[in-house]
């Protein structure tokens, strides 16, 4: 490794900006989790066909934060004997994306794992968004309800993600002690959020995660936080309210809550989920963890990252 590259990584490994958490962060999440723990999923599942003859696929719908019907795929390897308790990967996609196609998850299935891949509300999948909207917003979804921690889009998608894990844990053929949350970018951020907030999560894989060190991101990122930056540019007097809302969903502040093994990757040329933001959160994690930096990659998840994640999961789950 070149001196410049190793020095850059060494600097990032020492990067610890101050927390932005408000004094009631822990109380807020304790009360919020208690509030939603008993909320019914109102789930439905029906079998469907895929081009893969050895995969059992189901269309799933459930409710998370509100009465929006969240759509997902539940997939299990058909070659595993009935009655076998399977480890399960709960997958979240990147910003503007969707749950994808069943065949996108062939590597997990071939390794003997079930998969539950869900839409993020309102984005590029089949799922709508019934979150209330009282004020204006910039393009995209990030600024919906952004002036209040209880009305904002980040809260809705966080609860949706936690309820996805809850649904997976309830399935008869899932080993509830072996649930991994995984994804890239937005999906990586939601995976770390779920790891920080759900007692049902056993592992987390977060490639190039967002929702990290968001006060830095709103100022510097070229990704989804530009929507929040544009909102503040229109309403500069609302900056402090926006930053306060973001602080409750910032993994910089929630990372110390993570108690399960975590794999994280980062591209050092990434201008969307910038390395400073990812390391800021990662450096606060005290649980077993591994970081895989890619010095010459931008905002991208490639084959090597996916292979390392598969090796990590197979090892941790004893496959």
pLDDT tens figures, 266-314:
999 999 999 999 999 999 999 999 999 999 999 999 999 999 999 999 9
- By the 10 Å C-beta count (0-12 exposed, 13-18 middle, 19+ buried), 39 is classed as middle
Strands 55-63 and 203-207 turn out to be unpaired
By C-alpha distance, which of 318, 313, 315 is closest to 107? Answer: 313
| Predicted pLDDT at 1 | 59
End-to-end CA distance of the chain: 33
The Cα 176–Cα 114 span in angstroms is 12
Q: How many C-beta atoms lie closer than 10 Å to residue 224's C-beta?
A: 22
- C-beta separation of 290 from 247 below 8 A: no
| Predicted pLDDT at 211 | 98
Residue 245 gets which letter from DSSP? H
What ranges make up the beta strands (E) of 29-173?
A: 44-48, 55-63, 69-77, 86-92, 114-118
Q: What's the number of CA atoms in the CB half-sphere (13 Å) around residue 190?
A: 31
| Predicted pLDDT at 2 | 66
The Cα 190–Cα 97 span in angstroms is 14
| Superfamily covering domain 3-312 | Alpha/Beta hydrolase fold, catalytic domain (3.40.50.1820)
Choosing from 71, 93, 207, 299, the catalytic residue is 299
- C-beta separation of 163 from 69 below 8 A: no
Task: Choose the weakest-confidence range: 3-7, 167-171, 194-198, 267-271.
Answer: 3-7
**Residue 221 is a catalytic residue:** no
By C-alpha distance, which of 151, 185, 197 is closest to 265? Answer: 185
Choosing from 117, 185, 191, 265, the catalytic residue is 185
By C-alpha distance, which of 240, 234, 284 is closest to 17? Answer: 284
| Predicted pLDDT at 318 | 87
**Residue 93 is a catalytic residue:** no
Decide which of 3 and 12 is more confident: 12
The Cα 276–Cα 13 span in angstroms is 9
Q: Is 279 annotated as a binding residue?
A: no
**Residue 185 is a catalytic residue:** yes
By C-alpha distance, which of 89, 136, 141 is closest to 110? Answer: 89
Choosing from 119, 160, 250, 270, the catalytic residue is 270
Helix, strand and coil content of the chain, in percent to the nearest 5, comes to 40, 20, 40
């Amino acid at each position: 490794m070149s001196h410049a590259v190793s020095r850059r990584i060494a600097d990032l490994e020492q990067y610890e900006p101050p927390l932005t958490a408000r004094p009631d962060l822990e109380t807020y999440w304790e009360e919020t989790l208690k509030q939603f723990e008993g909320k019914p999923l109102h789930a439905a599942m029906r079998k469907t066909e895929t081009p893969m003859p050895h995969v059992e696929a189901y269309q799933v719908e459930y409710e998370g934060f509100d009465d929006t019907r969240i759509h997902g795929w539940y997939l299990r390897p058909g070659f595993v004997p009935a009655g076998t308790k399977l480890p399960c990967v709960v997958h979240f996609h990147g910003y503007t994306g969707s749950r994808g196609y069943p065949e996108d998850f062939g590597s997990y299935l071939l390794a003997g794992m079930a998969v539950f891949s869900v839409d993020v509300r309102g984005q590029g999948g089949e799922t709508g968004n019934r979150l209330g909207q009282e004020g204006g917003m910039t393009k995209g979804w990030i600024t919906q309800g952004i002036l209040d921690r209880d009305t904002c889009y980040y809260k809705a998608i966080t609860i949706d993600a936690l309820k996805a894990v809850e649904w997976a844990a309830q399935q008869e053929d899932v080993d509830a002690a072996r649930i991994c949350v995984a994804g890239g970018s937005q999906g990586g951020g939601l995976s770390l959020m779920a790891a920080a907030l759900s007692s049902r999560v056993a592992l987390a894989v977060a490639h190039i995660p967002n929702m990290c060190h968001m006060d830095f991101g709103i100022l510097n990122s070229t990704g989804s936080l530009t929507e929040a930056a544009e909102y503040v540019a229109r309403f500069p007097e609302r900056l402090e309210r926006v930053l306060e809302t973001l602080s409750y969903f910032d993994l910089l502040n929630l990372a110390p809550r993570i108690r399960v093994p975590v794999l994280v990757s980062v591209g050092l040329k990434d201008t969307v989920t910038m390395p400073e933001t990812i390391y800021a959160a990662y450096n606060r994690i005290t649980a077993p963890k591994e970081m895989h930096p890619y010095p010459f990659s931008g905002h991208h998840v490639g084959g090597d990252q996916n292979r390392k994640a598969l090796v990590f999961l197979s090892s941790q789950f004893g496959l």
